[in-house]
Amino acid sequence: MRLMISGGGTGGHIYPALALIDALKAHDPHAEVQYVGTHRGLENRIVPERGIDFKTIKIQGFKRSISLQNVKTVYLFLKSVVTARKYIKAFKPDVVVGTGGYVSGAVVFAAARMHIPTVIHEQNSVVGVTNKFLSRYVDKIAISFESARSQFPADKVVMTGNPRAQQVAGIQKTGALAQFGLKPDVPTALIFGGSRGAARINAAAAAAVPELNQRDYQTLFVTGQVHYDKIMDRLAATPPADNVKIEPYIKNMPAILPEVAVILGRAGATSIAEITALGIPSILVPSPYVTNDHQTKNAQSLVEAGAAEIVTEADLTATSLLNVVDRLMGSATQRASMAEHARKLGMPDAADQLLAVLESVRH
């Protein structure tokens, strides 16, 4: 298979694409892949590091208010479609896949107009602007949440799950927490606001450290690189005890997840895919800064299944954090129940499911 794939801007669009590529290569080592992204997004660093053929397109998103920038946006979109057509003609893909972000809009639209089989993948429960636009032109639409189904043309939708789930589903415990000085036989709570950190989560967790120092469970608190020094300065008078470890960043986060008893963090699509694939009880603090509040709707699907609890960012304080973490860490029975419900939502073969969709449109 010759696969052209496009997704950019955030890890939520990039990591599912990379997971799909890994699954394709596992099934067909001779498959050819070309990734089309932007020169400014995270994909510009992450994708080339993986040795994947990478092309860029210059594009930008629409402003939600009336703006002259939107005139430039339309111009860049039309220009990017022309560029995408050139890449498509040169690469000659069997199928083109979009995983979200404005760049995928130009690439998938160009492919559809050239009558090349096209598929889009929607990671969230609320459909993004780009995928909503592309849904009229593509052959198939893969979704990760049932709640997204009604937002697309019904005859095109296939439930596949998020390919990222397949990447982490088989990860086993390896004693990875020991590298942080944590004990493998003591339950550990992970507090993590995403790779860049989340200011409100960090503030609540930092304020809770003096109490967390007194608990009989362990806490691993990942601040994000840009927040780390400020938090450590704040805690100079009450430093973390041996059972509380504070790190700026963890390069291989999936490696430690099987050893985590509870995770408190955001409700992005990648996080949801990982915690359901591994069956981790979660306390979700949806970001209020995302389009259409989709993280709240992502989180609600887990809450309704008995796999998670929600704390809104507005309600998150040191006290509320301690209350919910103490309650779950103090009940192995509740954690086991939540873990089982989370696993039922997970789709450990999601990448293979999406590959099957690609094969269906290719023929």
pTM higher than 0.85, yes or no?
A: yes
**How would you list the strands of the sheet with 282-284, edge to edge?**
244-247, 218-222, 188-192, 262-265, 282-284, 308-310
Specify the pLDDT at position 73.
65
Q: Kindly tell me if the per-residue pLDDT of 10 is higher than 70.
A: yes
221 has pLDDT over 90: yes
Residues 6+ apart with CB under 8 A from 100: 7, 8, 9, 12, 13, 120, 121, 122, 123, 128, 130, 131
Strand-pair partners of 310: 284
**Number of other residues whose CB lies within 10 A of the CB of residue 363:** 6
For the record, the structure tokens of 159 come out as 């439930």
**Beta-strand runs (E) in 137-203:** 140-143, 157-159, 188-192
Domains and CATH numbers, the chain: 2-165+349-362 (3.40.50.2000), 171-345 (3.40.50.2000)
Residue 44 assigned as binding residue: no
Q: Is 11 annotated as a binding residue?
A: yes
pLDDT tens per residue across span 168-191:
998 999 999 999 999 999 999 999
Phi and psi, residue 269, nearest 5°:
-60, -40
Residue 223 assigned ligand-binding role: no
Residue 69 pLDDT level (bands cut at 50, 70, 90): low
Please tell me whether 353 is known to bind a ligand. no
Torsion sign (Cα): 136, 140, 141, 146: positive
Q: Is 295 annotated as a binding residue?
A: yes
Please state, in angstroms and rounded to a whole number, the distance separating the CA atoms of residues 310 and 227: 24
The pLDDT tens digits of the residues spanning 255-309 come to 999 999 999 999 999 999 999 999 999 999 999 998 889 999 999 999 999 999 9
Amino acid at 69: Q
Burial label for 296, CB within 10 Å (0-12, 13-18, 19+), is buried
Span between the terminal Cα atoms of the chain, in Å: 11
